[in-house]
Amino acid sequence: MKHFTGVAILAALLLGTVAKAVEPDGRVAIRTAWPDRKHGDAASPRLQVSLTATTSLKDARLVARIPSGIGLALRNGAVAGRWPAEGLVIGDLAAGQTIVVDLDVAPPARGGGILGLYLQAKADGREISEGVGVVVGKPGKAPTIRNGAVEFPAAGPDDAK
């Protein structure tokens, strides 16, 4: 019985650690939309990102993880132009405050990927991070049709990036 109690405590600690590592902080709501996209039109370049703070945030910064072949640029504001490598500095956000960032997104000629957008900030002295993934283009490998069957290539080691 003693051994079972030790295993149960260890399992609870591990699960608590894992849950904390993958759960969102819930301090900001991130919404994305393609406002110019018409039904069936996949070529609209404008992506609108809306960030709403649910609590006061300090030193907020929007960071992007951009897959190779995808272009990303800021469309609005004084910093319009190429996406800054260090991310977009937003500054402090009050609870309930919403900001909107318009981005120009250029999909690759073939294929696609998942554009990752992450808001990094401080709340109550803690580092927080919230993120969202946006599909750009057509991610994944193109299938091969062989003898009437659709074959998808196996994932390679570079596909996990």
Above 70 in pLDDT, residue 70? yes
The mean predicted confidence, pLDDT, of the chain is: 80
In a domain, 160, yes or no: no
More confident call, 79 vs 124:
124
142-159 tens-digit pLDDT: 678 888 887 777 665 555
Does the pLDDT at position 99 exceed 60?
Answer: yes
Q: How many domains does the chain have?
A: 1
Q: Is residue 95 part of a domain?
A: yes
Rounded CA gap, 37 and 35, in Å? 6
Range of the domain at 57: 26-140
User: CB neighbours of 85 closer than 8 A, spacing ≥ 6?
Assistant: none
Tell whether 91 is covered by a domain: yes
Mean pLDDT value across residues 84-92: 92
- Predicted TM-score (pTM) of the model is 0.69
Within a domain: residue 14? no
| DSSP state, residue 98 | E
10 Å CB burial of residue 145 (0-12, 13-18, 19+) is exposed
Give the pLDDT confidence of 19-61 residue by residue, as tens digits. Answer: 434 355 678 999 999 988 776 665 668 999 999 999 999 999 9
Residue 102 lies in a domain: yes
For the domain that residue 45 is a member of, what is the CATH number?
A: 2.60.40.1230
Asked if residue 81 is part of any domain, the answer here is: yes
